[in-house]
Structure 1
Amino acid sequence: MSLTRTMSNTTSPHFYAEMGELISNSGQEDFAAHMLHLVDKWVPIHMVDLSEWTLDELRDRVLDIKLLGSAGLKSELSAPQTLHPLKDHPLLREMLRMQDPLLIQMRAQPNSAHPRGTSHQCNLVARQGNRRQVISFYRPPAERGFSLAELSFLKCLSDTLLPLLERHAQLLHQAPQSSMEPVHNPLEQSQLQREFYKRLSLSDITLSAREQEVCLGLLTGGTVPQMAEKLSVKNSSVETYLKRAAAKLGVSGRHGLAKWMVGA
């Protein structure tokens, strides 16, 4: 797969349809599976772990590691191990004093004592107080490690994925396990629509009805011609609605719209 070609395709409707699916599944059991599906199309990965670390920064140690989700071909990686506090965990040193989001690459180490340490890893890390939200992507040791181009792409994508993981963690903390089942009633507003209107309300931003329709349509993978046909307007009118909405939201283009949806 040509990474250059697929990276340029992240402006495609399919990418944003999948990003919309990921956003709408925040707090759900299959959130990790949706993230794996989205990322694997652009950077091949076999598994993803989502975790939240609680650190004792005064004593430089891990207090707890909570798994927030996992998906992928576990049989192709090292045998799963229970996540548990380890004072010498290879990620700990870099995470202790961090301020800005990090990308930490770890190449496969034979006979590693750490969870999945015998696999190639790319870890995206965000800080929130004494907590760290971590997205870990894996490849089997028999395959090549992550290239510089792939790492650069994942770093760029982390601007959206990490705030979304933080939101996923908050929803898991707030909701009981039984409430994590997705809603399938087609008569109700979609989760994405509810989140979109909630974000508008919290931001105290007013969009026209057409601007809202265009934003939601593009977030769910619609193309400009499709939106123009649906609204019975010209393509240029759809572009104008998007530009007006983007200006009010303080973003640029469809990618900026997706990042705004997750509070990035």
Structure 2
Amino acid sequence: MNLTRSIGETQGPHFYAEMGELISNSGHERFAADMLHLVDKWVPIHLVDLSEWTLDELRDSVLDIKLLGSAGLKKELSVPQTLHPLNDHPLMREMLRMQDPLLIQMKAKANSAHPLGSSHQCNLVSRQGNRRCVISFYRPPTQRGFSLAELSFLKCLSDTLLPLMERHAQLLRQVPHTEAEPAHTLLEQSQLQREFYKRLALSDITLSAREQEVCLGLLTGGTVPQIAEKLSVKNSSIETYLKRAAAKLGVSGRHGLAKWMVGS
């Protein structure tokens, strides 16, 4: 398809109709599929992933990566079995000090140890405080990488797509936890989270989803008011969840939780 002609067509009624549908589906499961359908008409892509990163900018580290939607042909893209720590992720260096929206191109690498790193990627990134909203477009390594014209087109389109992505992420955060869980599946778990769940499994202890969130929030340095705000509950509720979790773990308070985590 002629990209120059396609860019002109984005001013037509069909483009605005599809953009309106994308806007109306913000916060819903169809959002990623609608974005794929919209973009693929002008820049061929096989997969789109929408994710929200939470960074600890003081320690130059990743606290969490959540998948907020995905659509496309995953089977055509290879995914390596070995995962490196989140802080070694190739996007990390670019996103830490960013102020303005970014377009980050990553060419396919045959021996990449990161998720979908062996595919061609174009990542659109925006910043809101310590959060980064990321739209990732992928092509299989058997096809050519993104051309300069395609990258330029996606950069222009990002002025519209990134604010919609931020709205999508905000709407998902406002949904009650039980409904938001499928859309907030972790793209990759941090090392601390993996160790936490491993310790639970070895101890044969079952915590509720809320109790797990509170424990992980405290273990990663969060305060009771911060966790309460994130979960949209009262401070007293956080204290209650902590007491319930501590009773099941056989510990006392936050310090006891930390000692349990390290096995002492």
User: Common fold, TM-score beyond 0.5?
Assistant: yes
Shift in CA distance, 12/26, structure 1 to aligned 2, threshold 3 Å: same
Following superposition of structure 1 onto structure 2, how do residues 215-254 of structure 1 map, counting pairs within 5 Å? none
Q: Residue type matched to 1:163 in 2?
A: P
Cα RMSD after superposing both structures: 1.9
Report what 1:122 is aligned to: 122
1:99–1:7: structure 2 CA closer, same or farther, 3 Å change rule?
A: same
Deviations 1:133-159 (A, max 9, x none): 000000000000000010001000001
- CA–CA distance in structure 1, aligned partners of residues 143 and 44 of structure 2: 11
2:146 partner amino acid: F
Q: Secondary structure at the match of 2:110?
A: coil
Deviations 1:39-88 (A, max 9, x none): 00011000000000011111111111000000001111113879995111
Query: C-alpha offsets along residues 187-240 of structure 1, whole Å, 9 cap, x if unaligned?
Result: xxxxxxxxxxxxxxxxxxxxxxxxxxxxxxxxxxxxxxxxxxxxxxxxxxxxxx
Q: Which residue matches 2:202? A: none
Q: 1:72 to 1:171 in 2, by over 3 A?
A: same
Letter in 1 for 2:148: L
2:114 and 2:125 map into 1 onto residues whose CA distance is 18
1:64 touches 1:84 (CA, 8 Å); kept in 2?
Answer: no
Partner of 1:175: 175
CA distance, structure 2, for counterparts of residue 89 and residue 175 of structure 1? 29
Paired with 1:34 and 1:52, the residues of 2 have a C-alpha distance of 18
| Structure 1 residues 77-135: Cα deviation after superposition (integer angstroms, max 9, x where no partner) | 11387999511110000100000000000000012111110000000000000110000
Partner residue in 1 for 2:46: 46
The structure with higher relative contact order (CA 8 Å, sep 6+) is 1
Number of equivalences: 180
- Residues in 1 aligned to 2:127 and 2:32: alpha-carbon distance in whole angstroms: 20
TM-score, length basis structure 2: 0.65
Aligned to 2:157: 157
The letter of the residue matching 1:147 is S
> Residues 66-145 of structure 1: matches in 2 within 5 Å?
66-79=66-79, 86-145=86-145
Contact 1:110–1:118 (Cα < 8 Å) also in 2: yes
Q: Which runs of 5+ in 1 are unaligned?
A: 181-264
Contact 1:64-1:85 at 8 Å conserved across structures: no
Cα pair 2:83 2:113 within 8 Å, conserved: no
SS in 2 for 1:79: coil
Q: 2:48, 2:136 within 8 Å by CA — same for their partners in 1?
A: yes
Report the AA paired with residue 7 of structure 1.
Answer: I
Q: Which residue of 1 aligns with 2:34?
A: 34
Output the CA distance in 1 between the equivalents of 2:6 and 2:180. Answer: 36
Matched-pair contact (CA < 8 Å) for 1:74–1:80: no
